[in-house]
Homo-oligomer: A and B are copies of this chain.
């Protein structure tokens, strides 16, 4: 592993440790994973006019709720990802969840059938966004923005057959970083790969590799192998399956289903089974067939430059030029990349195949598709697959048996006596107004033991106790939940004392 990740790894380790509960504390409630799979058949009873029908209470197919425990993990991932995007000078953008249907057409090739359409309820025809890239291009064109480095965190929707065990959903969160504008070649592209490395190292997901290829090399390769241009897309989508099925199966699909001549498929096979570093680029530049193709040469030249920059960034060893990488989306025009984890995290005992965890590429023509004069704005970007990363981290925490704190409450307001609700309310109000995170039980006369149990259960570090004696003496008892030590403090210095204690811990 290159040394650059060390500092981030340390920061992440400290984040992780913050979100884990102090080990000495009792935890009563269990962490619920995939609680959304619980289902109950219900009959409507409250509305007598309603037609009685049994229905299952669930979330829609391929979607899920995120429980508080899951939200803590997800928020930590997003914080780290967004922190990296900001470190690279990106601005934040937001776009609507749906777009005019026509904005999404002809952008996703074979995958267009997976777009969710809204019902025609009179008015515009709308579709849920399929990614964050097309809305970004639409934004640039609509506002005539020629340069922009932006990030976007948001949900996207795809009507895929969900394979929930692999962390694949029909609704999922993407974190995108993109650089739009005409710049000198490969500098922004290299920064995108640097960002992917920083994030994947920072999240401590174990060893990873980023496969790189170029759309022009792919097209050139197909051309020199003898594939007719009309079949480029279909053949690319076959090649794209090489990380899941064997070359023999891919070859069969090309010949039997997509009508390619066997010798053409074999020529492709020679290329797509190659991967390596700069030396492979050099080799391909000398390749008798490929070097005859202008497009391929351009792509190879750019990749060579890219590796120069990656070396300066200290990440060349994480990147592999892979001729089998053929990202599915229609809009890529240049370099493409995809990050895969090489092994499951050491802490996890179960093997998880989560596929690619980050991907992206250059799309120089997409903005032009939205421009009346076809004016292009070259773009390059990346997308972090939050759900897959989440699945790994959730699994890791589950395996380790670690407990997650889902609230940040610092102080609990308790009383050992009856009829002290008014005093408790006055007291907690003071704490809230001082910015202290505080809770009490919503009962007129709770038992002291119940109150103290709640603090242990929720890992609240401090308890403020008020009773008759304290009220008489103008003091408050401050109790440390961990040590069970109690001290009396003057009522008027309570806030100061609590703030002092919290800043020390």
Tell me the A residues contacting B by CB distance below 8 Å: 3-5, 7-8, 11, 32, 35-36, 38-47, 50, 55, 57-61, 63-68, 70-72, 74-75, 86-100, 102-103, 106, 116-121, 123-124, 126, 128, 135, 138-139, 141-144, 150, 155, 157, 159, 171, 179, 181, 183-184, 187-188, 190-191, 194, 198, 309, 312-314, 365, 368-374, 406-409, 421-422, 425-426, 429, 432-439, 442-444
Contacts and interface: CB of A to CB of B under 8 A. Distances in A.
A408 B118 contact: no
A367 B50 CA distance: 17
A89 B441 CA distance: 11
Nearest to A202: B435
Contact of A425 (B60, B119, B159, B313): B313
B429 A60 contact: no
Contacts of A116: 118-119, 121
Contact of A11 (B60, B312, B426, B435): B435
Contacts of A41: 372
B86 A408 contact: yes
B142 A429 contact: no
B39 A87 contact: no
A42 B370 contact: yes
Contact of A94 (B65, B92, B312): B65
B312 A426 contact: yes
Contacts of A183: 442-443
A55 B102 contact: yes
A43 B368 CA distance: 10
B369 A95 contact: no
A183 B440 CA distance: 12
13 contacts: A32-B143, A42-B371, A61-B124, A65-B142, A67-B93, A75-B92, A91-B406, A91-B407, A116-B118, A116-B119, A116-B121, A121-B159, A313-B429
B87 A436 contact: yes
A312 B429 contact: yes
Given A4-B432, A58-B100, A67-B93, 6 more contacts: A39-B142, A57-B103, A60-B96, A71-B94, A118-B119, A190-B425
A199 to B, nearest CB: 11
A144 B38 CA distance: 9
A498 B43 CA distance: 65
A394 B309 CA distance: 41
A101 to B, nearest CB: 9
A59 B141 contact: no
Contact of A97 (B42, B50, B157): B157
Contact of A92 (B71, B102, B150): B71
A47 B89 contact: no
A65 B39 contact: no
Given A66-B94, A314-B429, A117 B118 contact: yes
A97 B5 CA distance: 35
B98 A63 contact: yes
A295 B370 CA distance: 60
Contacts of A92: 68, 71-72, 75, 406
Nearest to A412: B89
Contacts of A188: 442
